[in-house]
């Protein structure tokens, strides 16, 4: 019996292990079933080959705790952490869907507003992680899952950097991550912050939109050097239909110097939502133009009501002039003019004020 088959059919408390899904750098992933809540789950079990490596064991257990700390719809959720036959495992949300790497392999590239929506969702998930002082450090198409309903789920926090956690520290000068999408500062083994993930997110979506990664080489060192010094090629060279504004957003995300990129995720998200809010697939933003149009319609309606009300009040005033038995009172204005007022003008003005207030109240 192979390692990947030895757990199939076993039960961990309320979880049944039913099917082998795949293997990653640290663990084997199985499809399981929660018999209590009657739902599918994913169960990740540490690889047997890693059991004798204390550092790998710590990393595996730490990954589960890191993900469990972040409660966000764009990050795969952790349900349970434990051990089976003294081997660490954790149970997580089962994602029905495909990774962006799978979609790229099938379609070659992804374009249109759907792609913009994926960028925004991924940025929101990474912002939630950054708010917990967690940097992913391995953002790439394979680690961004898309569910059947189009929801982004970020996975694999195995090499994440947690600023307050000293249980797993990367030695300065050690390079961890995927060179094809790695920021220049991460490729140099230096200190990284959220702007490094922003770079990797930009490189990932460059690949998704253009159909080709921003830099390529069979040699990892050469590939890293390109991130350090080689300018990013125009996206339009590979996909002429991509709007200039979107290209500029990606280029800004991939600036060589962290200080020249977007400085936080909110800045990036607002930029994307403002630029592409009118695309119907993106529902998280209400376009300003719609608000303006709605305000204009209210103003037109309000003016019509005022005109109708004013006309009615003037008509009543004219009729009252002919029917009123009251003798007009002679008055002198501050300018020395003589006027005759039987009280109708003051009454008319008061009526108009009341009507204006009622219109304003109804409009609110």
Q: How far apart are CA 270 and CA 264, in angstroms?
A: 11
- Look at residues 130, 128, 127, 152 and name the one whose alpha carbon lies nearest to residue 141: 152
Query: If you write DSSP's letter for every residue of 98-113 in order, what string do you get?
Result: EEHHHHHHHHS---SH
| φ/ψ of residue 181, rounded to 5 | -125, 15
224 contacts 216 by C-beta, under 8 angstroms: no
Instruction: Supply 121's token pair.
Output: 């969702």
Q: Is the dihedral of CA 112, 114, 116, 119 positive or negative?
A: negative
Per annotation, catalytic residue among 14, 19, 106, 148: 148
**Is 13 in the active site?**
no
Return the axis-axis angle of helices 265-276 and 113-131, rounded to nearest 10°. Answer: 160
Q: How far apart are CA 350 and CA 348, in angstroms?
A: 5
Number of neighbouring beta carbons within 10 Å of residue 97:
15
Give, in degrees to the nearest 5, the angle at Cα 270 between 243 and 212.
40
Q: How far apart are CA 280 and CA 360, in angstroms?
A: 33
In the block, residue with structure tokens 């089976």: 84
Bridge partners of 154, per DSSP, are 75, 144
Q: Is the dihedral of CA 8, 10, 11, 12 positive or negative?
A: negative
Give residues with Cβ within 8 angstroms of 296, minimum separation 6.
none
Instruction: Supply 7's token pair.
Output: 């757990």
In the block, residue with structure tokens 């192979």: 2
Catalytic residues: 148
């Amino acid at each position: 019996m192979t390692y990947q088959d030895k757990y199939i059919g076993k039960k961990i408390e309320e979880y049944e292990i039913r099917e082998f899904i795949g293997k990653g750098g640290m663990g084997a992933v199985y499809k399981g079933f929660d018999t209590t809540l009657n739902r599918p789950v994913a169960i990740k079990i540490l690889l047997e080959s890693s059991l004798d490596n204390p550092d790998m064991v710590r990393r595996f257990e730490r990954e589960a705790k890191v993900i469990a700390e972040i409660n966000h719809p764009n990050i795969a959720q952790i349900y349970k952490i434990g051990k089976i036959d003294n081997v660490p495992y954790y149970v997580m949300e089962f994602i029905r869907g495909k990774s962006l790497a799978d979609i790229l392999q099938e379609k070659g590239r992804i374009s249109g507003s759907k792609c913009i929506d994926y960028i925004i969702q991924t940025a929101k998930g990474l912002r939630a992680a950054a708010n917990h002082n967690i940097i992913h450090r391995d953002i790439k198409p394979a680690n961004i899952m898309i569910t059947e309903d189009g929801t982004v789920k970020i996975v694999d926090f195995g090499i994440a950097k947690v600023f307050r956690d000293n249980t797993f520290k990367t030695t300065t000068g050690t390079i961890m991550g995927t060179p094809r999408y790695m920021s220049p500062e991460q490729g140099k083994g230096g200190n990284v912050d959220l702007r490094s993930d922003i770079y990797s997110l930009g490189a990932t979506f460059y690949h998704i939109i253009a159909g080709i990664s921003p830099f390529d080489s069979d040699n990892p060192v050469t590939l890293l050097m390109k991130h350090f010094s080689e300018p990013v090629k125009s996206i339009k060279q590979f996909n002429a239909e991509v709007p200039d504004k979107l290209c500029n957003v990606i280029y800004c995300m991939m600036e060589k110097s962290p200080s020249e990129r977007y400085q936080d995720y909110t800045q990036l998200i607002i930029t994307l939502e403002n630029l592409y809010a009118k695309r119907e697939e993106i529902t998280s933003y209400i376009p300003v133009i719609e608000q303006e149009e709605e305000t204009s319609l209210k103003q037109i309606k309000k003016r019509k009501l005022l005109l109708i009300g004013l006309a009615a009040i003037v008509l009543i005033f004219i009729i009252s002039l002919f029917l009123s038995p009251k003798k007009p009172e002679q008055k002198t204005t501050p300018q020395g003019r003589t006027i005759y007022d039987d009280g109708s003008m003051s009454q008319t003005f008061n009526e108009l004020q009341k009507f204006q207030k009622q219109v304003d109240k109804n409009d609110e």
